[in-house]
Structure 1
């Protein structure tokens, strides 16, 4: 009990952010690009017919493009029209953001944990597709 009380006394001056740092968005865009490139590199030229996978890969690429462009466009609108009671400085350093807390509904989460929670599914999909593509290529080369 006293340990929790001491921890709260130490951490009570940590800043609480309600936005992700722009570097987190850059990493997310990089992971989405990794996923799209892995899909095109590993699965475009399979089965000897290049037209079999071109259309599905193009549709997935368009979907991922809109998944990146929509939040980016919303962030541009948010920067142009900030909220009147916006208290955080617009150019917070990544170190300061990382050491603070992140507001989640009625609670707070450490900022690095929030970044991990956001980036982990994207990383799992991108790296997983890369691993599946490598195994697929190895199996295809061993079969022929």
Structure 2
């Protein structure tokens, strides 16, 4: 079964593809960029995609002790538009377009990792919205049999 780092690295690599990489040039693992006191400076150049491990859980599948591991990964997208937060969300290269491209790149993707059932998009939710900034999270689940 792949490690958390291997999964995060594989998701970052899968995101760095067309059409998303035509307008988003940063694909990184999440590393506490959401310090609200200085959010704009911490996020750096936008648009950006961050990948973060959320959690996992295990369940027994059969009597011979086969276990299912379900891991959840978040892809956080952020875009800024000086005109308005609505433009940051709905404009070209905005978070709506980013979320659609993230889904097209990851949903039903096995990431080329051994033992990974295809990823499934579970939800898309807002994280932060300001007058000029839009940040959303897409949550994906991967399943492994051990």
Shorter-chain TM-score: which interval?
A: under 0.3
TM-score, normalising length: structure 2: 0.26
TM-score (norm 1): 0.26
| Higher share of residues assigned strand | 2
Larger-Rg structure: 1
Higher relative contact order (CA 8 A, sep 6+): 1
Q: Choose between structure 1 and 2: higher helix proportion.
A: 1
